[in-house]
Amino acid sequence: MQLSQVAAQCYTIRDFCKDAAAFAVSMRKVKGIGYAAVQISGVGPIPEAEVVRIVTGEGLKICATHESGQAICDDTQQVIDRLGKLGTPYTAYPWPHVPLETIEQVRALAKSLDRAGAVMRAAGQVLTYHNHQIEFKRIAGRTVLDILFDETDPRNLQGELDTYWVQTGGGEPTAWCAKLKNRLPLLHLKDYAIGANHAAVMAEIGSGNLDWARIVAAAEQSGCRWFIVEQDVCPGDPFASLKTSFDWIAANLVGQRASAGR
């Protein structure tokens, strides 16, 4: 991993991205922390051209987006057009917009994602799947996530694994990074800790229980291009959480340090 591959997920700071003025201040703070790029998600209704102007004006890149599941599956061209305006080839299907209770429902979603991904691939773009814990439910002996990846063309659906949600679902983040060999362009870095009342909580990178050296090494071996820091819930100032995570990554995972876990 290089620092130039480390991005901040705007969903972490969504309360500070509701309009163009607030978004501009937030991007300045993100750049000041040291991040090279941002993922656009949870940002207010700001025109794409203005988003690009603000982000690039701070010397940042847009590495990817999240788009609505319904738009991806039912209005794929609109998503393609939006990514083109934002200047990024990557987006993620962020949350199931349909029930996933039966094998038939899961296969129907897989077919829909495969179709959308094929259209996006023809446009030079990449559709990825962002997991939560719900995709680790087993149906007919396989997890939902296994079914979705097994029953789609790897060229049409790739992965944006979320480490916290893999762990929460009972999966093993390192194993899943390895499983998606050549199919993992994006990785959400989110630590897993035990907080009050013995409940699992999201934590800044390096302050929880995940084995980051092994996770990053496996992701690198699977071809990961962007390591995206996301923390849905922060204990205080989300910019402080982004800085804590970035500083720990820079000190412990960049360059030769990550390869030490191999």
CATH topology of domain 3-259: TIM Barrel (3.20.20)
Q: Which of 95, 253, 91, 215 is nearest to 158 (CA)?
A: 91
pLDDT tens per residue, range 174-225: 999 999 999 999 999 999 999 999 999 999 999 999 999 999 999 999 999 9
pLDDT tens per residue, range 126-172: 999 999 999 999 999 999 999 999 999 999 999 999 999 999 999 99
When pLDDT is cut at 50, 70 and 90, the band that residue 70 belongs to is: very high
* Strand segments (E) across the chain: 6-9, 37-40, 61-66, 90-93, 126-130, 138-139, 142-143, 158-162, 186-189, 191-194, 200-203, 226-229
What residues does each domain of the chain span?
A: 3-259
Mean pLDDT of the chain: 97
Beta-strand relationship, 37-40 and 6-9: parallel
Q: Which of 259, 262, 245, 208 is nearest to 7 (CA)?
A: 245
pLDDT at 255: 81
Please say if the pLDDT value at position 63 is more than 80: yes
pLDDT tens per residue, range 9-32: 999 999 999 999 999 999 999 999
User: Model's pTM, two decimal places?
Assistant: 0.96
The 10 Å CB-count burial string (b at 16+, else e) for 249-260 is bbeebbeebbee
